[in-house]
Amino acid sequence: MASTNIKIGVIGAGKMGQMLLAAFIKAAPLIASMEIHLFASTSSEVSSKKLQSDPRFVNAVTFTSNDEILCVANLIFLCVRPHQISDISKSAPKSFEFFGTLISICAGISICKLSELFPNAASFVRCMPSITCRASSFASTGLFIMHSEQEDPKSSRDSVLIEKLLKPSGAIFWVKTNAEFDAATAIGASAPAFASIFLEGLADGAVSCGLSRVLAYEIVAQMVAGTAQLISEGYHPSIIKDLVSTPGGCTIEGVIDLEANSLRGTAAKSIQKTVWKLSQLSCNK
Pseudo-torsion of CA 52, 129, 169, 148, nearest 10°? -110
Residue whose C-alpha is closest to residue 100's, from 135, 124, 117:
124
Cα separation values, 233 from 122, 211, 216, 244, 264, Å: 39, 31, 26, 17, 22
Radius of gyration of the chain (CA): 21
Residues flagged as binding site: 11-16, 66
User: What are phi and psi for residue 150, nearest 5 degrees?
Assistant: -85, 145
Q: Give me the phi and psi of 261, to 5 degrees please.
A: -100, 15
* Binding site members for NADP(+): 11-16
The annotation places the binding site for NADPH at 66
DSSP of 182-202: HHHHIIIIIHHHHHHHHHHHH
Checking DSSP bridges between strand 121-129 and strand 143-148, what pairing results, if any? antiparallel
